[in-house]
Structure 1
Amino acid sequence: MEAWVRFSAQSAAKERVFRAAQYACTLLGYTMQKNGAGAELLARIKQLEAHMSLGRKLFRLGNSAEALEAAKRAIHLSDMVLRFCITVAHLNRAMYFACDNVLWAGKTGLVPHADQEKWSQRSFRYYLFALIMNLSRDAYEIRLLMEREASGKRPKGTENGHQAQVDNGLQHLALRLRIQLRLLGHVLRSNPPLLLDLVKNACDIFIPLDKLGLYKTSPGFVGLCGLTSSILSILTIVHPWLKLKP
């Protein structure tokens, strides 16, 4: 109960719950439409999805300032690649939240003449750039950990010994691929925060790709990806040690 009280006291946690509910509605609506549900029921689910989306935007008011502060902290990181990826990701998140705030103002009638489609496309572009930076950061951290693991636990002579026994070029390539895949699996199993961040970002990236028309999927797939990433985000809030740092 105490953990739930701490969780529900955070606006970010409430936003994640609303996000999970929104994409659950997207997935449910798509599934029911495929199964021939009535138009009235589908309209109600669509309306509930819209309410959840509007509620999320309310919880995100002011998040641009938080993202800018995070960018200011990231700019002091010693690792140049991490500094670039994390800082640029936070700056894009700040712009995404700013566009999202304009959308919220337009939907609530505070700015009735706001071009909803234009601001929506802008927000998804910034969201996509932020996710690309996040995935680049994940890939960089994975590479560093794989190099560290390989140099620390696998003697250099081991791979050379295997290579000496391999005559065929394709067999040699397959051997190296198996070694790298085993190493990748070990690194991800040993680093749950990195694994969760990678899966979450990989799921999320299909959302702006679909909305921008760069890679069209289906509402059901978008709903599944959004629901999965939302649940993973909730896990990192409930268990802070699962959040990738810095």
Structure 2
Amino acid sequence: MDSWVRFNSQSQAKEKIIRAAQYACTLLGYTLQKGGAAAELRKTVGQLEAHMSLTRKLLRLGNSVEALEAAKRAIHLSDSVLRLTLTISHLNRAMYFACDNVLWAGKTGLISKLDQKKWSQRSFRYYLFALILNLTRDVYELHLLMECEARYRATKSPLSTTQPSDELSSPSSPANTAAVALPVMSAWMRRQLHLLVTVLYSNPPLLMDLLKNSCDIFIPLDRLGIYPTGTGFVGACGLASSVLSIITMIHPWLKLKP
């Protein structure tokens, strides 16, 4: 099984490149349609996109095995939140790839009379749930890092300003309390925003994973009709997430671990 996983990982780079090309075709087709291009040209771009989608499905044959292996590794993580989110996410990815394999067999004629729409919707549901769990993991790690950074700043400047809280606790009229509360809230939001930017800037793997998952989630949301965004937006999100995935494959240190 380990040899299969190693062999399968070598085809992932090709799959990501084809994925980027596929969503580039999606975005190009939308642009051509808006620009009033010839129907024959739009048809050619659409056929090219369909061929690339089918090629990607072929390259993803057997990816369920790798997803199951990743789930087996994730179940031994010490952090309970990471253990739960990553294990269930990998299991959903395994089901997504399995549905995708069945869909590929239907598109190539190996399985006749396959309800392709039903299997496509089923695969996108598994994909959406996996992405939600991945984003939950990203937010959880971001929260932990922000807490660590806040504690580090508190140790460097123990004499933090307590004047705003003192002012709020002192007796005053409701008007004065509201006048004081607004600047305090504004200052707190600025500190949190600065903390967020600092943490993301100092943790490129987390930033890359958060951006990639945020772009990807619009694809199943649109395909399932939960939050329709249009072909052009889906193409742009798919292209952006594909480019981010390719960058993490070129520079493995940018891949979020575990």
Scaled by the length of structure 1, what TM-score is found? 0.94
Structure 1 counterpart of 2:248: 236
Q: Distance in 1 between matches of 2:125 and 2:91?
A: 13
2:213 is aligned, of 201, 216, 221, to: 201
Q: Please tell me the root mean square deviation across aligned C-alpha atoms, in Å.
A: 1.3
Identity among equivalent pairs (%)? 67
Q: Secondary structure at the match of 1:158?
A: coil
Q: Distance in 2 between matches of 1:42 and 1:67?
A: 36
Are residues 185 and 162 of structure 1, via their aligned partners in 2, closer, same or farther at CA, if it must alter by over 3 Å? farther
- Pair 1:160 & 2:162 matched: yes
Higher Cα radius of gyration:
2
Structure 2 counterpart of 1:3: none
1:214 is aligned, of 222, 226, 250, to: 226
Q: Secondary structure at the match of 1:30?
A: helix
Q: Distance in 2 between matches of 1:180 and 1:162?
A: 16
Q: Distance in 1 between matches of 2:46 and 2:52?
A: 10
How big is the shift at 1:152?
Answer: 1.1
How big is the shift at 1:211?
Answer: 0.2
How big is the shift at 1:171?
Answer: 1.6
Q: Deviations over 1:35-76 (max 9, x none)?
A: 000110000000000000000001100000100010010000
Q: Deviations over 1:184-231 (max 9, x none)?
A: 000000000000000000000000000000001110000000000000
- Pair 1:100 & 2:100 matched: yes
Are residues 171 and 22 of structure 1, via their aligned partners in 2, closer, same or farther at CA, if it must alter by over 3 Å? same
Are residues 183 and 159 of structure 1, via their aligned partners in 2, closer, same or farther at CA, if it must alter by over 3 Å? farther
Q: Secondary structure at the match of 2:93?
A: helix
Q: Distance in 1 between matches of 2:158 and 2:101?
A: 54
Q: Secondary structure at the match of 2:110?
A: coil
How big is the shift at 1:160?
Answer: 2.7
- Letter paired with 2:104: W
Q: Distance in 2 between matches of 1:164 and 1:107?
A: 68
Structure 2 counterpart of 1:79: 79
Paired positions, count: 238
Scaled by the length of structure 2, what TM-score is found? 0.89
Structure 1 counterpart of 2:23: 23
- Letter paired with 1:185: V
Q: Distance in 2 between matches of 1:157 and 1:49?
A: 60
Structure 2 counterpart of 1:180: 192
- Letter paired with 1:13: A
- Letter paired with 1:228: A
